[in-house]
Chains A and B, each alone.
Chain A
Amino acid sequence: DTAVSQTPKYLVTQMGNDKSIKCEQNLGHDTMYWYKQDSKKFLKIMFSYNNKELIINETVPNRFSPKSPDKAHLNLHINSLELGDSAVYFCASSQGTGASGNTIYFGEGSWLTVV
């Protein structure tokens, strides 16, 4: 009964491959996010969806494409993986958009290693 679940937890893949990370939340939240945490622990937002609609799209290469089939799911597809894409990717959700001081609930992270 994990609130925000993402799969896979670990992913090792070769440069140039395409991979997807899936995320689901069972909290009934309206907003979902993808964050990237680099090796220095810096956590940066990538995308945010509210009720399946993209509301935040930070400066992220267009090789990264989020897809939200419904408000409980937000998947992340990455094309032509590069070494620099190696990081931990966190899915998260909140009731609001964060501007109103809502708590963000994070998944356990997906460790992506590109070799």
Chain B
Amino acid sequence: SQQGEEDPQALSIQEGENATMNCSYKTSINNLQWYRQNSGRGLVHLILIRSNEREKHSGRLRVTLDTSKKSSSLLITASRAADTASYFCATDGGNTPLVFGKGTRLSVIA
């Protein structure tokens, strides 16, 4: 069954602005990951946050996790046209495999 749900489904911003994407999930998790998919390509891992972590940074990426609300957010600061892609959250718990959401399509306009 589908676990993660990203919001919004699509987001369009100007270059230099920040982009925030949200992910909500239904059951308890061990970890949550964010992946990026460029058009016509495979998914690429961005960042992993464990259930006992609240925030994590990687370059221009900032991920937060609120297990009480069963939600996570991905913030991309100072966006660039090259950030245009779909972004997926994926959760795992117990012995289940990663379950992906439907993704947020981000368009960064130069």
Contact = CB atoms under 8 A, between A and B. Distances in A.
Which of B42, B50, B92, B99 has the most chain A CB within a 10 Å cutoff? Answer: B42
A27 interface: no
B31 A40 contact: no
Interface residues of A, number: 25
Interface string B71-110: 0000000000000001010101111111110110100000
A41 B41 contact: no
B13 interface: no
A109 interface: yes
Q: Tell me what chain B mostly uses at the interface: helix, strand, loop, or mixed.
A: strand
A109 B86 contact: no
B28 interface: no
B45 A41 contact: no
Interface string A82-115: 0000000010100001111101111111000000
Contact of B92 (A99, A105, A106, A107): A99
A67 B104 CA distance: 33
A100 B33 CA distance: 12
Contact of B30 (A40, A45, A101): A101
Contacts of B99: 45
Interface in A37-80: 40-45, 48, 56
A101 B43 contact: no
A106 B88 contact: no
B42 A90 contact: yes
Nearest to A90: B42
B27 interface: no
Given A43-B88, A99-B93, 20 more contacts: A33-B97, A40-B102, A41-B37, A41-B103, A41-B105, A42-B102, A43-B43, A44-B2, A45-B97, A45-B98, A90-B42, A92-B43, A98-B96, A99-B94, A101-B30, A101-B48, A101-B92, A104-B90, A105-B45, A106-B44
